[in-house]
Amino acid sequence: MDQYRVFGNPIKQSRSPFIHQKFAEQTQERLNYQSEYVEIGEFSQAVKQLINIGGKGANVTSPFKEEAMALCDKLTERAKLAGAVNTLSFINGEILGDTTDGDGLVNDLLANNVALKNKKILLLGAGGAAKGVILPLLEQSPTQLVVANRTVSKAEAIIQQYPAKPIFCCSFEKVTNYEFDVIINATSAGLNGQALPISEQVIQSNVTCYDMTYGIELTPFLEVAKLRNAAKLIDGLGMLVGQAAVSFAIWRNIQPDTQPVLTSLREEMSK
């Protein structure tokens, strides 16, 4: 059976084996996908071991996404721009690296009937998750994409990578100077139950609020969005399944249906 792994530290919390097993059942692909805990400093060894047993590919999660990029012989354009890799494929003795988070996010937004073309998007955060979604968001032709971050210099550095694109940056304090159709929270504040230091005024009733964080009933950001009667509230679980689907398609050349897997995952997580 073809072998796949997800490497991380910690990794026990990973839902990827569940998701990929469901995709494999659905598409009748024969594969074995397991999570593997990797000690810091031992990532490249873990990858080599997988290649040695004939492994076909791997997902990579925190904190190894940058290290994974450095191991690759070839990278997709979106992985280069993201500066990180979450999907490795082992083909003809080479390691190919890609990042699927952005397509996972965009596909989930579109599946939730959130239009992006000619819309104004606010992206909160400038960490790994934010960097990975910028190119796929720009490919949807928004009117503008504003990146706001607590440390503004990181947002500034990101937008410089996209000359001649409608992408701008600002501080959290300044976001109220603009109006948005879609606000995406790509900070990790919600994981720690922290509220974001942005004014509630930026969330108007026509705005879709998306939080990449998942596994929490309502993050502080989505709680505020609910109180502000935002048009739609969406958590990051669909993105998680979506990015896995893109990885699966890269490896197996078949596109799984994400919706039934998302439903099963929500059921599983509510147990």
Binding stretches for ligand NDP (CB under 6 A): 101, 104, 125-130, 149-151, 154, 186-191, 194, 196, 212-214, 236, 239-240, 243
214 is in an annotated binding site: yes
150 is in an annotated binding site: yes
Enter the tokens of residue 20. Answer: 């990929």
What's the min distance (Å) between Cβ of 268 and ligand NDP?
Answer: 16
Give start and end residues of each alpha helix (H) in the chain: 16-27, 43-52, 65-71, 77-82, 101-111, 128-138, 152-159, 220-227, 237-252, 258-270
Please answer whether residues 204 and 226 qualify as being in contact, where contact means their C-beta atoms are separated by less than 8 angstroms: no
What's the min distance (Å) between Cβ of 242 and ligand NDP?
Answer: 8
Which residue has the CB atom at the shortest distance from ligand NDP?
Answer: 127
Closer of 91 and 269 to ligand NDP (Cβ): 269
229 is in an annotated binding site: no
Please indicate whether residue 74 is annotated as part of the active site. Answer: no
State the residue for tokens 């009933």: 217
DSSP state of 67: H
Closer of 81 and 240 to ligand NDP (Cβ): 240
DSSP state of 41: T
Please answer whether residues 240 and 212 qualify as being in contact, where contact means their C-beta atoms are separated by less than 8 angstroms: no
Question: 147: part of which helix (H) or strand (E)?
Answer: strand 144-148
Q: How many CB atoms lie within 10 A of CB 4?
A: 26
195 is in an annotated binding site: no
> What is the amino acid identity at position 264?
S
Give start and end residues of each alpha helix (H) in 93-209: 101-111, 128-138, 152-159
264 is in an annotated binding site: no
CA separation for the pair 37, 30 (Å, rounded): 23
What's the min distance (Å) between Cβ of 201 and ligand NDP?
Answer: 18
77 is in an annotated binding site: yes
Catalytic residue (one of 22, 56, 65, 131): 65
CA separation for the pair 192, 171 (Å, rounded): 21
Closer of 225 and 239 to ligand NDP (Cβ): 239
Angle between helices 128-138 and 101-111 (to 10 degrees): 60
Annotated binding site for NADP(+): 77, 125-129, 149-154, 212, 236
Residues marked as binding for shikimate?
A: 14-16, 61, 86, 101, 214, 243
Which are the catalytic amino acids?
65
